[in-house]
Structure 1
Amino acid sequence: MNKFLMGTVAAVILAIAAVLAVILLKTQAQQQFPSRLNATAIKYPNGVYLYKAVIAGPRGGVTTNLVFIQYNNNIMIIIIQNNTKAYALFSSNKFSELYQTSNTTVHMVAYPSLLGYCANFSITQIISGVPVTVSNRACTAQPFSAPANFLELAAALSQSPPPSQLSFAGAVNTPFGKAAVYKNITSINYMFYTFNFTYIIYVLNNGVIYKFSIGVQTAQGPLANVTYTLISSSQVNETYASILSSLARDLPITDMGGSALVVAAQRLGMAVNAGSPTVLAFISLNDTDSAMLFSYNYTLFKGVGLVILDAPTQPRVYGQRLRCLYESLANKSEFLDALRTIYLNVLANSSNPFGVLPNSTCPVDFESEAALLNLALEGANIPPQYVTPPVIIIVYPNGTYAVVYGYNPQALSSALSR
């Protein structure tokens, strides 16, 4: 056999060996990892898993850390960025959230049902240096399904539908050992667009996801890509166990926090009368509805506790001059009559409706007044953007309160007579 023939035979043998090696490796990988993976089958051992989340889009990207905790049948996430902390605990019968910034804490415990879910919540905000807390209960018919594992949770955070099943696409080495790679491509039609979701996950031998990426694109090109990469894992220590225990508790609602609103209003606003119930009136001097309410229905405000505050629409110079008028009165109960005089002039289109106001200005904390109003509205489940002045908050002795806004004397009379 000549040298040329021998070389050709050797090359063929090497090629066959290479092909056999690839087939063998693929067969071994498929024997080690299943060819298909159901998303619901992903289960983590108890522990704390730190992930780096990277959100990339056409206009840039955002990177943050996410702590995922598996503890028996409960899962919890913690996201801390700058001065903001967000905690969420999901269990079989309820889910809890805790959101904290430098001056606001929101705590919610929700109970899902077949018809939606109801949630008890409390909001604490630092207003003028003092914490003020309101609480209530809100229900919605919007369905909620708690995520059962990290994959479903990460998909929900990314506002993407979770894949139901993924196909085996190979195996790779990671800093945490060998991982099986699974892939899924899902298309969803919405209006005139087709959104293509590409899911790729790297699953370690212990069931933990090392990496999970979600790519979203349309026919016009890529929209976003979100990637979660495991950085470290550890046991659930006392700190995390304490957070889990705290979030697992119920959140009973004893009252709405009306008494705290009154205390803050008396510190910020103009207390006119003492009585029960207590009325917190957010008004604007150039507002017709405020003028009509305090001109034609001012007797509703006699015999009750009354604190006058500035609505966000109040012109600042009017609010500052009004404050000087209030401070100049030895008998504060006379302020209601002075306010009615101003409003009657406004309704009469007087050439100088604010002539009774001093020309001097006095300090007013408009920002804290606006924060107090927004907090009270959120505690009453009323979106602040839908509210127009005057905004009347009626606080009852048991700490509950009602809100009436706009010119609605009949609703105000009914709320005062409860």
Structure 2
Amino acid sequence: MISVTAAIQQIAACRTSWGTESVPLEKSAGRVLAEAITADRDYPPFHRAARDGFAIRSSDVQTTRKQQFPLSHARYPGEDLQPGHAMKVASGSLLPPDVDVVIGMEEAEEKNGHVVFLDHNIRVYQHVRPRGEQATAGKVLLEPGLRLNFQHLGLLASLGVMNVKVERPPRVMFIAVGSELRIPGAPVNDTQLRDANGFTLTGLLLQYGITLEASYIVPDHPAAIQSAIMPCLEADLLVICGNVQPKTIIECGVEQVFNKVKAHPCNPFWFGYSPTRTRVMLIPGQPFAVQAGCKLFVESYIRACWGIPVIKPWLIPYMEHRTPVHAQDEFVPAALVSKNGLKVKALSFSGRADLTATARADGMICHNAEAGSLEPSALVTFYPWIETA
């Protein structure tokens, strides 16, 4: 039996590449960038006025005497400015070639088609956003391994990138084991349960732009389980949930990497791989065990394969007193509380099948077995449900 940290490290060590693909920009949100993105030109590609005022060339300024500049009226943005002239500009507007100074309205006097500047201490690029201030041509702006969000799509559009090279998603399959399980939407009696675990996995995968390829419900019989496993070994990742003996999986040709972790409710968790390179994870079938297992292990494996940094939990003050219930590290649904600073508290929880508590939670805490009882303000590890990086 190994720790959660050791389990994540061993899972990450089995990472592989699923290749890359090109997708339209509008479909790239949530995907992982597979190439460096560089500036195709200087940004901005021209000098811009940083405030409303009058634009001039610094080369036309004579500091030894008061100067009067005739006003020129541009017919279109960026039109050439006559030597020795000034022109009115608005903040953010494109400046004519070689114009590198903007004088604020309050620093000038305009009269009879001319303007006089009150302050003779004029410097180059005064109130000017120079060309290339944000980025020069060829500069790397986005690195491979970045998970694309809406702000990145805006930048890519401004660079003219309409097709994005991203990491290819894995083929993922799922098997739920349980004779009492039924497909959600099908009629159920008092002894039957709807399978929620497949949708837990589906939801996690969708956060990374991955679609669950196939999902099966299988009765509690080793032969039936093995019959379901064999065709799934063509996938990149197979997740099995339920009371399954590792021997049942190993007999399908899957090699064990490790068995069992020191964590409740994830234990017994099993991990292995097949000769076809399929990674196989076995998670207990209780809904919260699957949620915790998907968050800790499935997500960690996906991120490792794509080169995304490992998930780092928060270290945050605990709000109340808590006595440990199990001898192993305990993962418990928890909510964030913004009262006298950000804190976290465990939610009332009736056990590993309590989906109502996990739906109210912002994530889960890890009550370390070696910590003993948690006291108010003690620092505790918190895993948010939604990862932002």
Query: For the superposition of Structure 1 and Structure 2, which TM-score range results when normalised by the shorter chain?
Result: under 0.3
Q: TM-score, normalised by structure 1?
A: 0.21
Higher helix share: 1
Q: TM-score, normalised by structure 2?
A: 0.22
Higher strand share: 1
Structure having greater relative contact order (Cα 8 Å, sep ≥ 6): 2
